[in-house]
Protein backbone atom coordinates (compact mmCIF):
# COMPACT_ATOMS: atom_id res chain seq x y z
CA UNK A 1 0.00 0.00 0.00
CA UNK A 2 2.83 2.40 0.78
CA UNK A 3 6.38 2.95 -0.39
CA UNK A 4 7.52 3.50 3.20
CA UNK A 5 9.42 0.49 4.52
CA UNK A 6 9.82 0.83 8.27
CA UNK A 7 7.27 -1.09 10.29
CA UNK A 8 5.30 0.88 12.90
CA UNK A 9 6.23 -0.12 16.45
CA UNK A 10 4.81 2.73 18.59
CA UNK A 11 1.25 1.82 19.70
CA UNK A 12 0.52 5.10 21.49
CA UNK A 13 -2.52 7.17 20.47
CA UNK A 14 -1.69 9.90 17.97
CA UNK A 15 -2.58 13.58 17.83
CA UNK A 16 -4.10 14.05 14.37
CA UNK A 17 -5.21 17.23 12.61
CA UNK A 18 -7.51 16.53 9.67
CA UNK A 19 -8.05 19.44 7.25
CA UNK A 20 -10.54 19.87 4.42
CA UNK A 21 -11.90 22.76 2.37
CA UNK A 22 -15.49 21.67 1.84
CA UNK A 23 -18.25 22.75 4.25
CA UNK A 24 -20.88 20.48 2.69
CA UNK A 25 -21.13 16.79 1.92
CA UNK A 26 -17.79 15.33 2.93
CA UNK A 27 -19.09 12.03 4.30
CA UNK A 28 -15.74 10.52 3.31
CA UNK A 29 -13.99 13.07 5.56
CA UNK A 30 -16.45 12.74 8.44
CA UNK A 31 -16.29 8.95 8.46
CA UNK A 32 -12.49 8.89 8.46
CA UNK A 33 -12.20 11.49 11.24
CA UNK A 34 -14.77 9.74 13.44
CA UNK A 35 -13.21 6.34 12.74
CA UNK A 36 -9.78 7.53 13.85
CA UNK A 37 -11.24 9.02 17.03
CA UNK A 38 -12.95 5.71 17.80
CA UNK A 39 -9.57 3.99 17.55
CA UNK A 40 -8.42 6.12 20.48
CA UNK A 41 -6.61 8.95 18.71
CA UNK A 42 -6.99 12.62 19.60
CA UNK A 43 -8.41 14.08 16.41
CA UNK A 44 -9.24 17.66 15.52
CA UNK A 45 -10.93 18.69 12.31
CA UNK A 46 -10.52 21.87 10.27
CA UNK A 47 -13.31 22.88 7.90
CA UNK A 48 -13.76 26.15 5.95
CA UNK A 49 -17.08 27.25 7.43
CA UNK A 50 -20.10 26.33 9.47
CA UNK A 51 -22.39 23.97 7.63
CA UNK A 52 -23.62 20.38 7.52
CA UNK A 53 -20.13 18.89 7.78
CA UNK A 54 -19.14 20.94 10.83
CA UNK A 55 -22.46 20.11 12.50
CA UNK A 56 -22.03 16.38 11.93
CA UNK A 57 -18.48 16.43 13.27
CA UNK A 58 -19.47 18.32 16.40
CA UNK A 59 -22.40 15.96 16.93
CA UNK A 60 -19.82 13.15 16.95
CA UNK A 61 -17.82 15.02 19.65
CA UNK A 62 -15.01 15.93 17.27
CA UNK A 63 -13.25 19.20 18.14
CA UNK A 64 -13.86 21.26 14.99
CA UNK A 65 -12.17 24.50 13.97
CA UNK A 66 -13.45 26.90 11.31
CA UNK A 67 -10.56 28.11 9.15
CA UNK A 68 -11.74 29.66 5.82
CA UNK A 69 -8.90 28.52 3.58
CA UNK A 70 -10.97 28.51 0.37
CA UNK A 71 -10.33 31.01 -2.41
CA UNK A 72 -7.90 31.62 -5.28
CA UNK A 73 -9.10 35.00 -6.57
CA UNK A 74 -7.09 38.17 -5.81
CA UNK A 75 -9.80 39.78 -3.70
CA UNK A 76 -9.95 36.66 -1.53
CA UNK A 77 -6.22 36.52 -0.81
CA UNK A 78 -6.21 38.73 2.33
CA UNK A 79 -8.82 36.48 3.95
CA UNK A 80 -6.98 33.34 2.84
CA UNK A 81 -3.67 34.72 4.15
CA UNK A 82 -5.29 35.39 7.54
CA UNK A 83 -6.71 31.87 7.52
CA UNK A 84 -3.26 30.47 6.70
CA UNK A 85 -1.79 32.22 9.74
CA UNK A 86 -4.60 30.81 11.84
CA UNK A 87 -3.81 27.30 10.56
CA UNK A 88 -0.13 27.77 11.46
CA UNK A 89 -1.08 28.87 15.00
CA UNK A 90 -3.43 25.92 15.35
CA UNK A 91 -0.68 23.49 14.35
CA UNK A 92 1.76 25.07 16.78
CA UNK A 93 -0.77 24.96 19.64
CA UNK A 94 -2.01 21.42 18.98
CA UNK A 95 1.43 19.90 18.20
CA UNK A 96 -0.04 17.14 16.01
CA UNK A 97 1.88 14.01 15.16
CA UNK A 98 0.10 14.04 11.82
CA UNK A 99 -1.45 16.76 9.66
CA UNK A 100 -3.70 15.08 7.09
CA UNK A 101 -5.13 17.33 4.35
CA UNK A 102 -7.83 16.48 1.83
CA UNK A 103 -8.64 18.38 -1.41
CA UNK A 104 -6.23 20.61 -3.34
CA UNK A 105 -6.70 23.87 -1.41
CA UNK A 106 -6.24 22.11 1.91
CA UNK A 107 -3.17 20.31 0.58
CA UNK A 108 -1.57 23.57 -0.56
CA UNK A 109 -2.45 25.36 2.68
CA UNK A 110 -0.90 22.61 4.79
CA UNK A 111 2.22 22.50 2.61
CA UNK A 112 2.68 26.23 3.17
CA UNK A 113 2.04 25.79 6.90
CA UNK A 114 4.74 23.11 7.01
CA UNK A 115 7.33 25.82 6.28
CA UNK A 116 6.67 27.31 9.73
CA UNK A 117 8.35 24.36 11.49
CA UNK A 118 7.14 22.08 14.27
CA UNK A 119 5.01 20.54 11.61
CA UNK A 120 4.43 16.88 12.39
CA UNK A 121 4.21 14.42 9.52
CA UNK A 122 2.29 15.93 6.62
CA UNK A 123 -0.06 13.63 4.71
CA UNK A 124 -1.83 14.90 1.57
CA UNK A 125 -4.73 12.93 0.12
CA UNK A 126 -5.56 13.41 -3.56
CA UNK A 127 -9.30 13.09 -4.04
CA UNK A 128 -9.35 14.19 -7.67
CA UNK A 129 -7.09 15.41 -10.46
CA UNK A 130 -9.31 17.83 -12.39
CA UNK A 131 -7.08 20.70 -11.28
CA UNK A 132 -4.18 19.26 -13.26
CA UNK A 133 -5.94 20.44 -16.42
CA UNK A 134 -5.48 24.04 -15.25
CA UNK A 135 -1.92 25.24 -16.01
CA UNK A 136 -1.86 27.54 -12.97
CA UNK A 137 -3.21 25.03 -10.46
CA UNK A 138 -0.99 22.31 -11.86
CA UNK A 139 2.11 24.49 -11.34
CA UNK A 140 1.11 25.35 -7.78
CA UNK A 141 0.45 21.70 -6.94
CA UNK A 142 3.65 20.30 -8.39
CA UNK A 143 5.87 23.16 -7.17
CA UNK A 144 4.85 22.48 -3.55
CA UNK A 145 4.55 18.68 -3.78
CA UNK A 146 7.86 18.05 -2.01
CA UNK A 147 6.42 19.49 1.22
CA UNK A 148 4.15 16.44 1.58
CA UNK A 149 5.81 13.60 3.47
CA UNK A 150 3.32 11.09 2.07
CA UNK A 151 0.89 11.49 -0.82
CA UNK A 152 -2.16 9.22 -0.49
CA UNK A 153 -4.04 8.55 -3.68
CA UNK A 154 -7.71 7.82 -3.18
CA UNK A 155 -7.33 5.34 -6.03
CA UNK A 156 -4.45 3.46 -7.62
CA UNK A 157 -4.30 5.70 -10.70
CA UNK A 158 -3.90 8.88 -8.66
CA UNK A 159 -1.12 7.40 -6.53
CA UNK A 160 0.78 6.23 -9.61
CA UNK A 161 0.38 9.60 -11.30
CA UNK A 162 1.87 11.43 -8.31
CA UNK A 163 4.64 8.87 -8.03
CA UNK A 164 5.62 9.87 -11.58
CA UNK A 165 5.42 13.55 -10.59
CA UNK A 166 8.06 12.96 -7.93
CA UNK A 167 6.10 12.61 -4.68
CA UNK A 168 8.44 11.62 -1.85
CA UNK A 169 6.28 8.66 -0.77
CA UNK A 170 2.94 7.41 -2.03
CA UNK A 171 0.23 5.14 -0.69
CA UNK A 172 -3.27 4.12 -1.76
CA UNK A 173 -6.28 4.41 0.53
CA UNK A 174 -9.81 4.29 -0.84
CA UNK A 175 -12.34 6.43 0.95
CA UNK A 176 -14.49 3.86 2.71
CA UNK A 177 -18.07 3.92 3.85
CA UNK A 178 -20.54 1.91 5.89
CA UNK A 179 -20.78 -0.94 3.41
CA UNK A 180 -23.49 -2.71 5.40
CA UNK A 181 -26.06 0.09 5.31
CA UNK A 182 -27.39 -0.89 1.87
CA UNK A 183 -29.55 -3.99 1.48
CA UNK A 184 -29.66 -5.49 -2.03
CA UNK A 185 -32.98 -7.14 -1.18
CA UNK A 186 -34.70 -3.74 -0.97
CA UNK A 187 -37.64 -3.59 -3.42
CA UNK A 188 -37.72 -0.80 -5.99
CA UNK A 189 -41.50 -0.62 -6.29
CA UNK A 190 -41.98 2.67 -4.44
CA UNK A 191 -39.62 4.65 -6.64
CA UNK A 192 -40.91 3.08 -9.84
CA UNK A 193 -44.49 3.88 -8.80
CA UNK A 194 -43.62 7.60 -8.63
CA UNK A 195 -42.98 7.50 -12.37
CA UNK A 196 -45.70 5.06 -13.31
CA UNK A 197 -43.28 2.32 -14.30
CA UNK A 198 -44.00 -1.39 -14.18
CA UNK A 199 -41.67 -3.74 -12.35
CA UNK A 200 -40.22 -5.10 -15.61
CA UNK A 201 -39.50 -1.72 -17.27
CA UNK A 202 -35.75 -1.49 -18.07
CA UNK A 203 -34.24 1.28 -15.96
CA UNK A 204 -30.89 3.05 -16.03
CA UNK A 205 -29.66 5.47 -13.39
CA UNK A 206 -26.85 8.01 -13.05
CA UNK A 207 -26.29 9.31 -9.51
CA UNK A 208 -23.96 12.32 -9.42
CA UNK A 209 -23.69 15.97 -8.57
CA UNK A 210 -23.75 18.32 -11.55
CA UNK A 211 -20.57 20.40 -11.68
CA UNK A 212 -20.68 23.54 -13.82
CA UNK A 213 -17.11 24.70 -14.35
CA UNK A 214 -15.12 27.41 -16.08
CA UNK A 215 -12.29 25.01 -16.83
CA UNK A 216 -11.77 24.83 -20.59
CA UNK A 217 -11.34 21.05 -20.50
CA UNK A 218 -14.93 20.56 -19.32
CA UNK A 219 -16.84 23.28 -21.18
CA UNK A 220 -18.32 20.97 -23.82
CA UNK A 221 -18.72 17.94 -21.57
CA UNK A 222 -18.94 18.37 -17.81
CA UNK A 223 -16.53 16.44 -15.63
CA UNK A 224 -19.23 13.91 -14.66
CA UNK A 225 -20.13 13.25 -18.29
CA UNK A 226 -23.88 13.90 -18.12
CA UNK A 227 -23.80 14.99 -21.74
CA UNK A 228 -22.28 11.67 -22.78
CA UNK A 229 -25.13 9.76 -21.16
CA UNK A 230 -27.77 11.94 -22.80
CA UNK A 231 -26.12 11.51 -26.20
CA UNK A 232 -26.09 7.74 -25.63
CA UNK A 233 -29.82 7.49 -24.85
CA UNK A 234 -31.12 7.57 -28.48
CA UNK A 235 -28.73 4.74 -29.36
CA UNK A 236 -29.77 2.85 -26.24
CA UNK A 237 -33.45 3.20 -27.12
CA UNK A 238 -32.76 1.79 -30.58
CA UNK A 239 -31.75 -1.47 -28.87
CA UNK A 240 -33.96 -1.32 -25.75
CA UNK A 241 -37.02 0.72 -26.78
CA UNK A 242 -38.77 0.49 -23.40
CA UNK A 243 -35.86 1.84 -21.34
CA UNK A 244 -36.15 4.82 -19.00
CA UNK A 245 -33.14 6.80 -17.76
CA UNK A 246 -32.94 8.62 -14.43
CA UNK A 247 -30.51 11.46 -13.77
CA UNK A 248 -30.31 11.67 -9.98
CA UNK A 249 -28.66 14.69 -8.42
CA UNK A 250 -28.38 18.41 -9.04
CA UNK A 251 -25.86 21.22 -9.09
CA UNK A 252 -23.64 21.13 -6.01
CA UNK A 253 -23.02 24.84 -6.47
CA UNK A 254 -24.43 27.12 -9.14
CA UNK A 255 -27.63 28.86 -10.18
CA UNK A 256 -29.30 25.98 -12.00
CA UNK A 257 -28.20 26.99 -15.51
CA UNK A 258 -26.20 23.81 -16.03
CA UNK A 259 -29.09 21.55 -15.05
CA UNK A 260 -31.41 23.49 -17.36
CA UNK A 261 -28.89 23.12 -20.19
CA UNK A 262 -28.86 19.36 -19.67
CA UNK A 263 -32.64 19.21 -19.68
CA UNK A 264 -32.75 21.26 -22.89
CA UNK A 265 -30.21 18.90 -24.44
CA UNK A 266 -32.50 15.96 -23.66
CA UNK A 267 -35.42 17.74 -25.34
CA UNK A 268 -33.35 18.55 -28.44
CA UNK A 269 -32.36 14.89 -28.68
CA UNK A 270 -36.03 13.89 -28.60
CA UNK A 271 -35.68 11.92 -25.36
CA UNK A 272 -37.39 14.30 -22.95
CA UNK A 273 -40.06 11.72 -22.13
CA UNK A 274 -37.51 8.97 -21.38
CA UNK A 275 -34.99 10.89 -19.28
CA UNK A 276 -36.14 11.89 -15.80
CA UNK A 277 -34.23 14.54 -13.84
CA UNK A 278 -35.07 13.80 -10.21
CA UNK A 279 -32.89 16.32 -8.40
CA UNK A 280 -31.29 15.33 -5.11
CA UNK A 281 -32.82 12.29 -3.40
CA UNK A 282 -32.41 11.39 0.26
CA UNK A 283 -33.81 7.88 -0.28
CA UNK A 284 -30.84 6.64 -2.27
CA UNK A 285 -31.41 2.98 -1.34
CA UNK A 286 -34.92 3.10 -2.85
CA UNK A 287 -33.56 4.80 -5.96
CA UNK A 288 -30.83 2.22 -6.49
CA UNK A 289 -33.25 -0.62 -5.80
CA UNK A 290 -35.39 0.54 -8.73
CA UNK A 291 -32.52 0.51 -11.23
CA UNK A 292 -31.31 -2.33 -13.39
CA UNK A 293 -28.08 -0.62 -14.42
CA UNK A 294 -26.14 2.26 -12.88
CA UNK A 295 -23.74 4.31 -14.99
CA UNK A 296 -20.85 6.68 -14.41
CA UNK A 297 -19.64 8.32 -17.65
CA UNK A 298 -17.18 10.69 -15.91
CA UNK A 299 -14.20 12.17 -17.72
CA UNK A 300 -12.23 12.21 -14.44
CA UNK A 301 -13.17 10.29 -11.29
CA UNK A 302 -11.89 8.63 -8.17
CA UNK A 303 -13.23 5.30 -6.92
CA UNK A 304 -16.72 6.92 -6.78
CA UNK A 305 -19.19 6.34 -3.95
CA UNK A 306 -22.09 6.09 -6.40
CA UNK A 307 -20.62 3.08 -8.18
CA UNK A 308 -19.64 1.46 -4.88
CA UNK A 309 -23.24 1.85 -3.75
CA UNK A 310 -24.50 0.42 -7.05
CA UNK A 311 -22.41 -2.70 -6.60
CA UNK A 312 -23.34 -3.01 -2.92
CA UNK A 313 -26.92 -3.15 -4.20
CA UNK A 314 -25.82 -5.86 -6.70
CA UNK A 315 -26.73 -3.77 -9.74
CA UNK A 316 -25.32 -3.79 -13.24
CA UNK A 317 -22.52 -1.23 -13.51
CA UNK A 318 -21.14 0.64 -16.52
CA UNK A 319 -18.39 3.23 -16.05
CA UNK A 320 -15.70 5.17 -17.86
CA UNK A 321 -12.27 3.61 -17.87
CA UNK A 322 -10.64 6.52 -16.04
CA UNK A 323 -9.09 7.29 -12.67
CA UNK A 324 -10.31 5.13 -9.84
CA UNK A 325 -13.32 3.63 -11.59
CA UNK A 326 -11.35 0.47 -12.55
CA UNK A 327 -10.64 0.04 -8.80
CA UNK A 328 -14.41 -0.28 -8.34
CA UNK A 329 -15.65 -1.78 -11.61
CA UNK A 330 -13.49 -4.60 -12.98
CA UNK A 331 -14.26 -4.94 -16.66
CA UNK A 332 -16.08 -8.13 -17.54
CA UNK A 333 -16.18 -9.23 -13.89
CA UNK A 334 -18.14 -6.73 -11.79
CA UNK A 335 -19.30 -4.50 -14.64
CA UNK A 336 -18.28 -2.98 -17.94
CA UNK A 337 -15.80 -0.16 -18.66
CA UNK A 338 -15.96 2.09 -21.72
CA UNK A 339 -13.69 4.84 -23.06
CA UNK A 340 -14.52 8.26 -21.57
CA UNK A 341 -16.61 10.50 -23.80
CA UNK A 342 -17.66 7.61 -26.07
CA UNK A 343 -21.46 7.74 -26.26
CA UNK A 344 -21.86 4.78 -28.68
CA UNK A 345 -19.71 2.55 -26.45
CA UNK A 346 -21.67 3.66 -23.40
CA UNK A 347 -24.99 2.92 -25.09
CA UNK A 348 -23.78 -0.50 -26.20
CA UNK A 349 -22.54 -1.50 -22.76
CA UNK A 350 -25.76 -0.41 -21.05
CA UNK A 351 -27.85 -2.29 -23.61
CA UNK A 352 -25.71 -5.41 -23.20
CA UNK A 353 -26.44 -5.52 -19.46
CA UNK A 354 -30.11 -4.57 -19.77
CA UNK A 355 -30.67 -7.45 -22.19
CA UNK A 356 -28.73 -10.00 -20.12
CA UNK A 357 -30.25 -10.06 -16.61
CA UNK A 358 -28.37 -13.18 -15.54
CA UNK A 359 -25.02 -11.68 -16.43
CA UNK A 360 -25.64 -8.39 -14.63
CA UNK A 361 -26.92 -10.22 -11.53
CA UNK A 362 -23.77 -12.37 -11.46
CA UNK A 363 -21.59 -9.27 -11.85
CA UNK A 364 -23.54 -7.49 -9.14
CA UNK A 365 -23.09 -10.31 -6.64
CA UNK A 366 -19.34 -10.43 -7.26
CA UNK A 367 -19.17 -6.63 -7.13
CA UNK A 368 -20.86 -6.54 -3.73
CA UNK A 369 -18.49 -9.16 -2.34
CA UNK A 370 -15.45 -7.19 -3.49
CA UNK A 371 -16.79 -3.84 -2.30
CA UNK A 372 -17.53 -5.28 1.14
CA UNK A 373 -13.83 -6.08 1.44
CA UNK A 374 -12.23 -3.10 -0.28
CA UNK A 375 -14.40 -0.15 0.78
CA UNK A 376 -15.33 -0.92 4.38
CA UNK A 377 -14.69 2.24 6.44
CA UNK A 378 -13.03 0.17 9.17
CA UNK A 379 -10.46 -1.04 6.64
CA UNK A 380 -9.93 2.51 5.39
CA UNK A 381 -9.28 3.85 8.88
CA UNK A 382 -6.90 0.99 9.72
CA UNK A 383 -5.01 1.53 6.46
CA UNK A 384 -4.69 5.28 7.09
CA UNK A 385 -3.39 4.67 10.62
CA UNK A 386 -0.78 2.32 9.18
CA UNK A 387 0.34 5.03 6.75
CA UNK A 388 0.69 7.45 9.66
CA UNK A 389 2.72 5.08 11.81
CA UNK A 390 5.02 4.05 8.97
CA UNK A 391 5.67 7.69 8.10
CA UNK A 392 6.42 8.49 11.74
CA UNK A 393 8.72 5.48 11.99
CA UNK A 394 10.54 6.60 8.84
CA UNK A 395 10.94 10.09 10.25
CA UNK A 396 12.35 8.77 13.53
CA UNK A 397 14.73 6.43 11.73
CA UNK A 398 15.94 8.93 9.15
CA UNK A 399 16.16 11.91 11.47
CA UNK A 400 13.91 14.14 9.35
Give the E-state strand segments of 164-315 in sequence order. Answer: 170-172, 203-207, 244-248, 275-279, 293-296
CA distance 208 to 296: 8
The model's pLDDT over 292-348, given as tens digits with 9 standing for 90+, comes to 999 999 999 998 999 999 999 999 999 999 999 999 999 999 999 999 999 999 999
Q: Rounded to whole angstroms, how far apart are CA atoms 218 and 125?
A: 23
Helix (H) or strand (E) holding 100: strand 98-102
Confidence of residue 55 (pLDDT cuts 50, 70, 90): very high
* pLDDT, mean of residues 389-393: 96
- How far, in whole angstroms, is CA 97 from its chain's centroid? 26
Q: Which domains are assigned to the chain? A: 15-176+376-394 (3.40.50.2000), 189-374 (3.40.50.2000)
What is the rounded distance in angstroms from the CA atom of residue 64 to the CA atom of residue 92?
16
For 248-272, what is each residue's pLDDT tens digit? 999 987 889 999 999 999 999 999 9
For 90-124, the pLDDT digits (tens) are 999 999 999 999 999 999 999 999 998 666 899 99
Q: Return d(Cα 174, Cα 155) in angstroms, integer.
A: 6
Amino acid sequence: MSTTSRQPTDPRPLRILQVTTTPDGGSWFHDQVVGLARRGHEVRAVVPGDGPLASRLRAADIATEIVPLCGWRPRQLPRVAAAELRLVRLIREFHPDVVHAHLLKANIACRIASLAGGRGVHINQVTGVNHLRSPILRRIDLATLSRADVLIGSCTAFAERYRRYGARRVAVSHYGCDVHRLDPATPGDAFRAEFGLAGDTPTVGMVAHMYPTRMRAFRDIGVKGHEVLLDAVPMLLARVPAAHVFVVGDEFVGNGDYRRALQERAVRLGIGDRVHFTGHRADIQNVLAAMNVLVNPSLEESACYAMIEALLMEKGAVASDVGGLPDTVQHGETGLLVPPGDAPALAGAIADLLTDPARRREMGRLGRARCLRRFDIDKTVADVETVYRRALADRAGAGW
